[in-house]
Amino acid sequence: MSVKDSIRDTVTSNNVVLYMKGTKDMPQCGFSSRVAGVLNFMGVDFVDVNVLADEQIRQGIKDYSDWPTIPQLYVKGEFVGGSDIITEMTLSGELDQLFDDKGVAYSKEAADKIREANG
Q: What's the rounded mean pLDDT across residues 80-107?
A: 97
Phi and psi angles of residue 41, each rounded to the nearest 5 degrees, phi first: -65, -35
Domain count across the chain: 1
- Following CA atoms 60, 45, 37, 80 in sequence, which dihedral angle do they give, to the nearest 10 degrees? 50
Q: What's the rounded mean pLDDT across residues 52-59?
A: 97
What share of the chain has pLDDT > 90, as a percent? 98
Stretch (H or E) spanning 11: helix 3-13
**What predicted TM-score, i.e. pTM, was given to this entire model?**
0.96
Give the model's pLDDT for residue 61.
98
Residue 35 lies in a domain: yes
Per the structure, the complete domain to which residue 44 belongs is given by 3-114
On the question of pLDDT at 119 being above 90, the answer is no
Residue 46 lies in a domain: yes
How far from 68 is each of 40, 46, 50, 83, 85, CA to CA, in Å? 24, 22, 16, 12, 14
Residue type, 50: N
Residue 119 lies in a domain: no
Tell me the average pLDDT of the chain: 97
Which runs of consecutive H residues, i.e. helices, occur in 15-82? 30-41, 55-65
